[in-house]
């Protein structure tokens, strides 16, 4: 009662009414009020002493309440008992309703399952349990089981099965991250790998245990639905959604609407190839939407109405292509019907004769953007304004679940924080790289780095996941995100807590102050784990991280995106790195091809191969020569990519191949 002040009247009278049903209500009210005198006197003095009494508010309350109470007491004696009880009940009910309504948005930062969502995920767990049992019993063949297990994220890899768990649009609660930690410890080797598509991979699970893993996960609204296979995959978005200053609209409600629409979609479970969707709601694209099969950019028209700029046919892999615009401004109501039309065109006309030519990008490229858009429009004409048309009520229902947390009103700059920045060089370096601006005054977004020499990029131990979950719970409203750069994000940290967060993150090995620098490189699991890979990525990543371990050197080099893929499937997005490294196989040996000039974001561009590939041992030297070229040519405040854009590829190529006879261009390898 002393904390909330709710209770004296509301709870006390209700309890007394039940305890003494035969006592007249006015006697109950009277006794309760009398009992409140010594009680509130003590509590009030306590608050006075703590300095939490507002004198102006106190006086104005007394001016109203003293005459009110006198009148009330006078009339209470004359009103019939029944009416008084009824009146009391209705007032309590009103207060109750209001309390529930007001508290709801504060407790909901992310989509919470209702009974429908739970029943669907539970049913998938049961279905997969049956499928696994039939496979293990031999009644389901390898060929039959393959698409079924893939649609539930289960690969058969070098060391056994790999299970990819979904992190829908990269958003997790602290409880969910703890569940991941628990599952990794219980069923795997105590760590997991966060991927460029914001998911989590477990590399050492045992097939017979997978149904139980899924059952455990389902308790926290987690699953592995459609994290692989030729279906609509997990939808990804901006890891700063909801907090970025440059946001046009929050992409998360739309990602959730698409998640529901695509989950167990009966028509699209056997597409020609996988189908990846990314959505961005900010001016700067942090979700790499242009390299997705379907990339959605939230836009507002002149009337302020929300819509989507739709890109189709982007993707990396063997044929890297940027998506083409097929809708400039699709009104939000049509998001699902238009997407359904687009995926249907892909399902019917995408190539199925060659897995390498089956992505939608090949279809868009083959028939051209205009013809593809025409076919989608023709299909959409039948679906438009049909039942899939989104309603305001549904959008509001989902949007309400992503309501902003209960931010405190804070000053733009916390004085203690500024003092720490001045006095602690290591802290200020971390803030410079790992702390991003927030749209609410006094708050910041923190990147917990999953990159450090000696550890595979994106790997997190169960202990680290738990430490991150603790930090989220204590300092960031219990919510955490996975970025497609394979780090974890605390999106809503008060500035005054940054110093504490840094210390704790450091203790957990999550505070490499290198976000955006060369050590923050992106790499797929590569040949050490993945059966598709042509070469290993992790030893190359480690060698580069070691070469550039010196923090001063790294900070001097500045922002540099370096991406490594172990094969043409490009899970490490090497085409998008300012420096990209691709593992290739030459007569059973691992070689590495280097691309330059790739970039993500609004001005996304595919990097180009600079020449012959390098042996593994040559890679760190070659990278160092490229960086030396940049350092020699850069203007003040120019990033690697800016210098590259200004002076072109030639000086870099010359530096990469000091012996001229080696610099002839080769097509693929």
Partner 1 sequence: MANKQIIKERRLQDDAWKVVTLVDGEAPFDVCLPVGPLLVPVAVWKAKKACLIHREYEHGTPLGIWLAPGDDLAEIAADLDDFTVIAVHFPKLADGRGYSTARLLRERHGYDGELRAFGDIGRDQIFFLNRVGFDAFVIGEGKSAEEALAAFDDFPETYQAAADQPDPLFRRRVA
Residues lying near partner 1 in the complex (CB under 8 A): 114, 116, 119-120, 123-124, 126-127, 131, 139-140, 143-144, 147-148, 230, 260-261, 263-271, 336, 344, 347-348, 352, 382, 386-388, 390-391, 394, 397
β partners of residue 40: none
SS3 content of the chain, % helix, strand, coil (to 5): 50, 15, 35
CB contact at 8 A, 235 and 277: yes
Between 462-475 and 174-187, two packed helices, what is the crossing angle to 10 degrees? 170
Q: Where are the beta strands (DSSP E) in 186-227?
A: 191-194, 200-202
Closest to partner 1 by CB, 49 vs 116, is 116
Q: How far is the CB of 548 from partner 1 (least distance, A)?
A: 44
CB of 294 closer than 8 Å to CB of 288: no
Q: How far, in Å, CA of 445 to CA of 497, rounded?
A: 12
> What is the nearest approach in angstroms of partner 1 to the Cβ of residue 380?
12
Nearer to partner 1, 336 or 364 (CB): 336
Nearer to partner 1 by Cβ, of 239 and 344: the residue is 344
Exposed, middle or buried by CB within 10 Å (0-12, 13-18, 19+), for 569?
middle
User: Which residues lie below 8 Å from residue 336, measured CB to CB, with a gap of 6+?
Assistant: 257, 258, 261, 388, 389, 390
Select 283 or 348, whichever has its Cβ closest to partner 1: 348
| Closer residue to partner 1 in complex, CB, 260/500 | 260
Give 35 or 382: the residue with its C-beta nearer to partner 1: 382
Instruction: Determine phi and psi for 260, rounding to 5 degrees.
Output: -65, -45
**Least Å distance between CB 114 and partner 1?**
8
Pick 95 or 123: Cβ nearer partner 1: 123
Residue with tokens 């996988």: 274
Q: Which is nearer to partner 1, 200 or 232 (CB)?
A: 232
Residue 263 Cβ vs partner 1, minimum distance, rounded to whole Å: 6
Residue 547 Cβ, how far from partner 1 at the closest point, in Å? 44
Nearest approach in angstroms of CB 301 to partner 1 is 24
Q: Tokens representing 479? A: 């919510």
Distance, in Å, from the CA atom of 404 to the CA atom of 424, rounded to the nearest integer, reads: 32
d(Cα 44, Cα 50) in Å, to the nearest integer?
10
Sheet holding 306-312, edge to edge: 236-237, 277-280, 294-300, 306-312, 324-331
Nearer to partner 1 (CB atom), residue 108 or residue 439:
108
Token pair 């500035």 is found at 495
* Whether the Cβ atoms of residue 489 and residue 481 lie closer than 8 Å to each other: yes
User: CB 282 → partner 1: shortest distance, Å?
Assistant: 26
Whole-angstrom CA distances from 568 to 206, 388, 587, 641 are 28, 37, 16, 23
CA distance 442 to 202: 37
Please compute, for residue 167, the number of CA atoms within 13 A of its CA located in the half-sphere on the CB side. Answer: 30
Cβ 354 to partner 1, closest distance in Å? 13
Nearer to partner 1, 318 or 352 (CB): 352
In the bound complex, what is the minimum distance in angstroms from residue 349's beta carbon to partner 1?
A: 9
Report, in Å, the least distance between residue 382 CB and partner 1: 6
């Amino acid at each position: 009662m002393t904390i909330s002040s709710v209770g004296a009247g509301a709870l006390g009278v209700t309890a007394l009414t039940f305890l003494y049903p035969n006592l007249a209500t006015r006697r109950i009210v009277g006794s309760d009020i009398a009992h409140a005198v010594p009680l509130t006197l003590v509590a009030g003095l306590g608050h006075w002493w703590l300095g939490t009494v507002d004198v102006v508010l106190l006086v104005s309350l007394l001016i109203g309440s003293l005459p009110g109470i006198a009148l009330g007491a006078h009339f209470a004696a004359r009103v019939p008992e029944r009416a008084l009880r009824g009146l009391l009940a209705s007032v309590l009910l009103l207060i109750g309703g209001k309390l529930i309504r007001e508290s709801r948005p504060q407790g909901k930062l992310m989509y919470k399952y209702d009974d429908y969502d739970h029943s669907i995920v539970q049913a998938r767990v049961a279905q997969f349990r049956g499928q696994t049992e039939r496979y293990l019993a031999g009644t389901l063949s390898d060929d039959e089981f393959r698409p079924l297990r893939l649609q539930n994220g289960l690969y058969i890899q070098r060391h056994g099965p790999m299970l990819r768990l979904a992190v829908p649009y990269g958003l997790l609660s602290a409880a969910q991250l703890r569940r991941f930690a628990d599952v990794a410890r219980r069923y795997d080797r105590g760590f997991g790998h966060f991927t460029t598509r914001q998911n989590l991979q477990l590399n050492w699970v045992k097939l017979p245990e997978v149904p139980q893993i899924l059952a455990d996960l389902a308790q926290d609204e987690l699953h592995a639905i459609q994290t692989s296979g030729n279906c609509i995959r997990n939808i990804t978005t901006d890891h700063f959604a909801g907090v970025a200053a440059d946001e046009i609209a929050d992409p998360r409600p739309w990602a959730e609407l698409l998640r529901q629409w695509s989950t167990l979609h009966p028509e699209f479970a056997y597409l020609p190839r996988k189908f990846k969707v990314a959505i961005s709601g900010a001016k700067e694209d942090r979700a790499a939407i242009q390299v997705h099969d379907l990339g959605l950019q939230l836009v507002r028209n002149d009337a302020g109405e929300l819509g989507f700029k739709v890109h189709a046919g982007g993707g990396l892999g063997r044929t890297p292509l940027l998506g083409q615009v097929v809708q400039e401004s699709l009104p939000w109501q049509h998001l699902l019907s238009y997407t359904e039309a687009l995926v249907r065109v892909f399902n019917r006309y995408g190539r199925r004769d060659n897995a390498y030519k089956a992505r939608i990008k090949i279809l868009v490229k083959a028939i051209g953007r205009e013809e593809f858009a025409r076919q989608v429009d023709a299909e959409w004409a039948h679906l438009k304004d049909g039942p899939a048309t989104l309603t305001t009520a549904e959008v509001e229902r989902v949007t309400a679940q992503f309501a902003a947390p209960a931010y405190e009103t804070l000053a733009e700059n916390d004085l203690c924080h500024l003092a720490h920045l001045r006095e602690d060089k290591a802290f200020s370096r971390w803030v410079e790289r790992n702390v991003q601006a927030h749209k609410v005054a006094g708050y910041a977004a923190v990147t917990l780095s999953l990159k450090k020499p000696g550890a595979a990029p994106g790997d997190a131990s169960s202990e680290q996941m738990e430490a991150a979950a603790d930090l989220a719970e204590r300092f960031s409203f219990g919510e955490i995100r996975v970025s497609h750069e394979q780090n974890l994000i605390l999106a809503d940290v008060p500035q005054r807590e940054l110093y504490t967060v840094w210390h704790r993150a450091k203790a957990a090995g999550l505070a490499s102050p290198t976000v955006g620098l060369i050590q923050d490189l992106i790499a797929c699991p590569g040949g050490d784990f993945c059966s598709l890979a042509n070469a290993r990525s992790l030893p190359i990543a480690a060698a580069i991280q070691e070469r550039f371990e010196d923090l001063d050197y790294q900070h001097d080099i500045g922002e540099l995106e370096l991406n490594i893929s172990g094969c043409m499937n490009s899970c490490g997005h090497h085409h998008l790195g300012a420096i990209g490294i691709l593992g290739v196989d030459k007569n059973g040996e691992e070689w590495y091809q280097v691309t330059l000039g790739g970039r993500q974001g609004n001005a996304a561009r595919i990097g180009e191969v600079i020449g012959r590939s390098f042996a593994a041992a040559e890679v760190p030297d070659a990278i160092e020569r490229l960086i030396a070229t940049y350092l020699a040519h850069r203007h003040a405040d120019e990033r690697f990519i800016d210098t590259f854009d200004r002076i072109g590829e030639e000086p870099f190529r010359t530096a990469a191949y000091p012996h001229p006879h080696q610099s002839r261009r080769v097509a693929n390898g």
